């Protein structure tokens, strides 16, 4: 098959340059006025039908079957897609990019998907949303709870702080529910439902999820179209977003046809919540449940400091479903002094940096910054208290998982 470079990156459409402050605010703002929302409803009356696909370039065997004469109708019937599948050069470019440019990364995302797909699809289905929206989490984070983007979006669904809080997620120095699969998924479902109600299209809802409802809505108004492919006022990242979603969905449903022959999927994660007292260290939960500490930390990545928040009784903590009985039997047997372990605290000296402290304690810099709600570049005076995540004052290491780049950053966009 020809290399990616033989037919170039997805075609670009350059947005008009705003010429006044008013126009700039119109394009970049993220809130739609009542009149703008009414105008959007009016243009949605003319629902679009995707145009016939142009003859695509010849790619690998999986694409040759995909691009047979029946096109989108064939793959919808055979594979069972529940989001619209439009095939064009931009989608084909991303299929080839995933399969040949970043196959190792994409296989890692597929491997991780095994842990979460059953839960995510169930939640989407029960909410009345297309199950294939699960692959938004693939292109956003690679299904990682620890993913952090360059822009500051966090967790499997990559919420920014403002949007996360708007949809009910707790984000503070102790808890960041953007990392909690259960709570973040409920927030993502609510957000996507609102976007679909506004735009009437899952393509446009996905674009709004990435680029903001204001930018997408105003681009629709200016271009007088409800066709995602015809919008000209979107950033390149947002223009690439829907093609990436379609491409990721196509590969994930039939990975063996695109070179992913031996994906070692993780076992599905099943958990239940137990309640513990204030300031309970996750090491203690692991000890009572008789599982390695890293298992409890992986199920509770939203607990930034490796323990439940101070002053909050009966705090819910996730444990493997098959270890609930062991926890309930063993936890009451622990001596009261063993049920809470104070975190390890570092007292700073003048001129110390967060980077130097992370190196001294052999912890991830981004973990340390997140646990203390500080930038990674922080510098200190004398006597400031820095919590060392995943460590108790007794010196116990908690196996705190490393942060990793978001899939959206790792995938990137073509030049």
Max Cα-Cα span within the chain: 71
pLDDT above 60 for 131? yes
- Determine which of 9-18, 203-212, 343-352 has the lowest per-residue pLDDT on average: 9-18
For tokens 């790792």, the residue is 410
Element at 235 (helix H, strand E): none
Q: End-to-end CA distance of the chain, in Å?
A: 22
> Is residue 358 a contact partner of residue 390, using CB atoms and an 8 Å limit?
no
Q: Are strands 271-276 and 147-148 parallel, antiparallel or unpaired?
A: unpaired
Distances (CA, A) of 107 to 259, 260, 360: 10, 7, 34
Q: What is the reported pLDDT for 335?
A: 84
Give the gyration radius of the chain's Cα atoms. Answer: 24
Residues forming beta bridges with residue 317, ordered by sequence position: 274
> Is residue 358 a contact partner of residue 372, using CB atoms and an 8 Å limit?
no
Q: What is the reported pLDDT for 241?
A: 97
> Is residue 144 a contact partner of residue 156, using CB atoms and an 8 Å limit?
yes
Q: Tell me if residue 217 falls in helix, strand or coil.
A: helix
pLDDT above 80 for 214? yes
Between 63 and 206, residue with greater pLDDT? 206
DSSP string, 373-408: T--TT-B--TT-EEEEEEEETT--B--PPPPEE-HH
Strands (E), 11-86: none
Q: What is the reported pLDDT for 389?
A: 72
pLDDT above 60 for 90? yes
**Which residue, among 332, 376, 334, 331, has the nearest Cα to 357 in the 3D structure?**
376
Quick one: what percent of the chain has pLDDT higher than 90? 60
Apex 309 CA angle, 343 and 334, nearest 5 = 65
Task: Give 153's pLDDT tier (boundaries 50, 70, 90).
Answer: very high
Residues forming beta bridges with residue 347, ordered by sequence position: 385
Report the alpha-carbon distance of residue 99 to residue 132 in Å, rounded.
19
pTM: 0.74
342-395 CATH fold:
Membrane-bound Lytic Murein Transglycosylase D; Chain A (3.10.350)
pLDDT digits (tens, 9 = 90+) for 246-273: 999 999 999 999 999 999 999 999 999 9
Instruction: Delimit the CATH 3.10.350.10 region(s) of the chain.
Output: 342-395
pLDDT above 90 for 306? no
> Is residue 324 a contact partner of residue 314, using CB atoms and an 8 Å limit?
no
Between 25 and 184, residue with greater pLDDT? 184
Task: Give CA 326 to chain center in angstroms.
Answer: 32
pLDDT above 50 for 14? no
């Amino acid at each position: 098959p020809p290399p990616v470079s033989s037919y170039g990156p997805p075609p670009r459409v350059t947005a008009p340059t705003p010429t006044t402050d008013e126009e700039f605010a119109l394009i970049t703002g993220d809130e739609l006025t009542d009149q703008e929302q009414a105008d959007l409803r009016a243009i949605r009356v003319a629902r679009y039908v995707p145009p016939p696909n142009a003859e695509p370039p010849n790619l690998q065997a999986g694409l040759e079957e995909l691009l047979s004469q029946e096109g989108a109708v064939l793959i919808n019937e055979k594979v069972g897609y529940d989001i619209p599948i439009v095939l064009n050069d931009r989608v084909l470019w991303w299929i080839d990019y995933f399969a040949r440019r970043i196959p190792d990364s994409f296989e890692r995302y597929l491997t991780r998907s095994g842990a979460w797909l059953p839960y995510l699809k169930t939640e989407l289905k029960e909410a009345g949303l297309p199950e294939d929206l699960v692959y938004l989490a693939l292109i956003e984070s690679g299904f990682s709870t620890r993913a952090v983007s360059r822009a500051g979006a966090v967790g499997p669904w990559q919420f920014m702080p403002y949007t996360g809080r708007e949809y009910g997620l707790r984000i503070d120095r102790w808890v960041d529910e953007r990392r909690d699969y259960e709570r973040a998924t409920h927030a993502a479902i609510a957000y996507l439902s609102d976007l679909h109600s506004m735009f009437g299209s899952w393509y446009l809802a996905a674009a709004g999820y990435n680029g903001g409802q204001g930018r997408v809505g105003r681009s629709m108004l200016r271009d007088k179209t409800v066709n995602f492919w015809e919008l000209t006022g979107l950033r390149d990242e947002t223009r690439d977003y829907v093609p990436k979603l379609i491409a990721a969905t196509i590969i994930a449903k039939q990975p063996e046809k695109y070179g992913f022959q031996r994906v070692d999927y993780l076992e599905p994660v099943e958990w239940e919540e137990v309640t513990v007292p204030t300031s309970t260290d996750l090491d203690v939960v692991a000890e009572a449940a008789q599982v390695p500490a890293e298992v409890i930390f992986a199920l509770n990545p939203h607990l930034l400091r490796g323990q439940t928040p101070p002053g909050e009784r009966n705090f819910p903590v996730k444990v493997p479903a098959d270890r609930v009985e062991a926890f309930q039997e063993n936890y009451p047997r622990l001596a009261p002094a063993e049920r809470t372990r104070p975190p390890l605290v570092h007292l700073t000296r003048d001129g110390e940096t967060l980077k130097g402290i992370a190196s001294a304690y052999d912890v991830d810099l981004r973990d340390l910054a997140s646990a203390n709600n500080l930038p990674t570049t922080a510098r200190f005076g004398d006597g400031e208290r820095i919590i060392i995540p995943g460590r108790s004052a007794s010196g116990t290491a908690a196996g705190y998982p490393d942060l990793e780049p978001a899939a959206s950053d790792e995938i990137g966009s073509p030049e």
